[in-house]
């Protein structure tokens, strides 16, 4: 029998990372204040997908794995809106090809995190391959950004217990998301805004993209930001969101 745990809390250590598949995120609800929500096996590592509810804070995260046409317009919108602390999960192979965009992300005050190097599903790999990809990605991203990554979003959001254990061993916290905007489907600006804001709660981590596949995200962002601000939300990076939390565990069958 498999177990998952809700972690309520006030202090998450840097190495927090978690277990079993991302698709459970939508099915688990977490309530109460000062709560950090994670996936976890009974005694295993954890992956964060929601921050504490105290403080009306949310995190905007962007995945980038290819292309150079969408990232700059998105960064321009964020700058114009005064948002300086998003978290960009980047493929290291992409970062090597586009150091100028990485430089812009850092210059604008955003957080750099890892999508691995090759952007291949880790669940299809053996443990040595996973470890090597994470460490190569960390090295390459540091080379172009000057930043040492400690947050990891496995490619395509796919992970299992092995991935979580390896991530923990390489000093990375696995970060999933609690709100999927589905912007990569290009469903229309109005739909992206609705997906992003329709059910948002304090502590949510929003998934957006900045690869060339997204054609409407930069158009939806101003309305997303405006709506969230009007509802009293402020924006923090994932690192800020999880920096001062302490975990207590409760099993969910």
Measured CA to CA, the distance from residue 191 to residue 21 in angstroms comes to: 26
Percent of the chain scoring above 90 in pLDDT = 75
In a domain, 246, yes or no: no
Number of domains, the chain = 1
In a domain, 6, yes or no: no
Check whether 13 has a pLDDT greater than 90: no
Residue 126's contacts (CB-CB under 8 Å, 6 or more residues apart) are none
CATH of the domain at 100: 3.20.20.370
In a domain, 154, yes or no: yes
Residue of 231, 190, 178 whose CA lies nearest to 60: 178
In a domain, 218, yes or no: yes
Check whether 211 has a pLDDT greater than 50: yes
Check whether 5 has a pLDDT greater than 80: no
At 97-156, the pLDDT tens digits run 999 999 999 999 999 999 999 999 999 999 999 999 999 999 999 999 999 999 999 999
Residue 150 belongs to domain spanning: 56-233
In a domain, 155, yes or no: yes
What pLDDT sits at residue 67? 96
In a domain, 1, yes or no: no
Query: Per-residue DSSP letters for 16-31?
Result: ----S-GGGGGG----
What pLDDT sits at residue 129? 97
In a domain, 247, yes or no: no
What pLDDT sits at residue 244? 62
Residue of 250, 166, 235, 157 whose CA lies nearest to 196: 235
**Which whole number is the average pLDDT over 221-236?**
98
Percent of the chain scoring above 70 in pLDDT = 79
In a domain, 103, yes or no: yes
What pLDDT sits at residue 163? 96
At 54-107, the pLDDT tens digits run 889 999 999 999 999 999 999 999 999 999 999 999 999 999 999 999 999 999
What pLDDT sits at residue 243? 86
What pLDDT sits at residue 174? 96
């Amino acid at each position: 029998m498999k177990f998952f745990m809700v972690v309520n809390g006030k202090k998450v250590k840097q190495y927090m990372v978690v277990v079993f598949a991302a698709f459970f995120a939508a099915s688990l609800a977490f309530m109460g204040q000062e709560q950090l929500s994670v996936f976890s096996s009974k005694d295993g590592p954890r992956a964060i997908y929601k921050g504490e509810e105290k403080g009306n804070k949310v995190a905007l995260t962007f995945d980038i794995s290819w292309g150079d046409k969408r990232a700059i317009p998105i960064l321009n919108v964020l700058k114009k809106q005064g948002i300086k602390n998003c978290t960009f999960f980047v493929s290291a192979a992409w970062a090597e090809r586009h150091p100028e965009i990485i430089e812009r992300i850092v210059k604008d005050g955003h957080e750099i995190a890892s999508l691995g190097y090759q952007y291949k599903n880790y669940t299809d790999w053996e443990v040595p391959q996973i470890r090597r990809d994470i460490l190569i990605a960390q090295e390459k991203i540091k080379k172009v950004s000057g930043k040492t990554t400690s947050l990891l979003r496995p490619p395509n959001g796919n992970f299992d217990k092995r991935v979580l254990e390896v991530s923990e061993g390489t000093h990375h916290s696995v970060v999933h998301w609690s709100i999927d905007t589905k912007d990569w489907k290009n469903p229309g600006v109005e739909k992206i805004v609705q997906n992003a804001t329709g059910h948002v709660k304090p502590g949510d981590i929003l998934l957006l993209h900045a690869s060339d596949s997204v054609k409407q995200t930069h158009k939806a962002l101003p309305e997303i930001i405006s709506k969230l601000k009007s509802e009293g939300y402020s924006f923090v990076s994932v690192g800020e969101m999880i920096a001062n939390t302490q975990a207590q565990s409760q099993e969910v069958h």
